[in-house]
Amino acid sequence: PIAWTLSEPYGSYGWWPCKQQLTDKIDSMDFEYTIPKGNKAAGQGMLQRVDTLSDSSLVYHWKHRYPISTYLVSVTVTNYYEQSLYIPLSGGDSVYHLDYLYPSYKPAADTLSLSIHGMMRAFDSLFGDYPFKKEKYGHAQFARGGGMEHQTMSSMSNLGFDLMAHELGHQWFGDKITCGSWADLWLNEGWATYANGIAREMVQGKPQFIDFLKTCNERITRNTDGAVFAYDTTNVNNLFFGDMR
């Protein structure tokens, strides 16, 4: 069994009390998740401790000390395999990396880590310091297609190269810098797509980057009346229409 949340764009108040407004970020958060033993709870920031509540329950305490939009708060719970290490950056610096993966992903965990290392170094060199460097970046797998750039802990259906690059890019553009209205969500998504292209070129190589450009061009030209600006923000599908970004 697995439990997970996904709040973008309007679902935050459905599972925790909050002021759901893009222009007013929360300055810091503390989280406590009570879960059945045998499972792990992945969340934002840094894990402070795990307490035993009873013979059958644990309490995970997470602490996050960066501004965060409500839709970027998440929790995922299942019997994860946990892997952690540090991503080396230039000048002797590093970023703590923490993955909560399905046990079936354990044999591939080291290979997956190498990909994210190259992406982090590329983005850190081009976009500036990873925005949440004092805490971490990581992935938590969840039971939904695609991914979601939950702050410091992206929720992932899989750990394919393009999905990892896209969600990591969002940590700069979407999480640290957030659109002021859902009508401008294309800014978040456009930058993440751009970051994906950078990762293709700098980590995989020029041929893979050219293939990525071809795919993007085919996608954005197949719909002649597409638009980047979302005029109807009540239509969630319209917000994530990707043919023009």
CATH number at residue 185: 3.30.2010.30
Identify the pLDDT of residue 241. Answer: 67
Domain that holds residue 232: 3-240
- How far apart CA 133 and CA 25 sit, in angstroms, is 19
Model confidence, pTM = 0.96
Q: Is 77 inside any structural domain?
A: yes
- How far apart CA 140 and CA 153 sit, in angstroms, is 6
For the segment 203-228, the average pLDDT, to the nearest whole number, is: 90
Identify the pLDDT of residue 69. Answer: 99
pLDDT in tens, 127-162: 999 999 999 999 999 999 999 999 999 999 999 999
For the segment 168-197, the average pLDDT, to the nearest whole number, is: 97
Q: Is 153 inside any structural domain?
A: yes
pLDDT in tens, 93-130: 999 999 999 999 999 888 888 889 999 999 999 999 99
Q: Is 75 inside any structural domain?
A: yes
Q: Is 131 inside any structural domain?
A: yes
- How far apart CA 43 and CA 33 sit, in angstroms, is 9
Q: Is 245 inside any structural domain?
A: no
Token pair listed for 92:
């002797």
Rg of the chain's alpha carbons, rounded to an integer? Answer: 18
Question: 94-101 and 81-88: which strand pairing?
Answer: antiparallel
Q: Give the phi and the psi of residue 28 in degrees, each rounded to 5.
A: -170, 160
CA torsion sign for 236, 242, 243, 245 is positive
Q: Is 164 inside any structural domain?
A: yes
Identify the pLDDT of residue 243. Answer: 64
* Torsion of Cα atoms, 204 then 205 then 206 then 208, to 10°: -30
3-state helix, strand, coil in the chain (%, to 5): 35, 25, 40
The terminus-to-terminus CA distance of the chain in angstroms comes to: 35
Number of structural domains in the chain: 1
Contact 40, 77 (CB under 8 A): yes
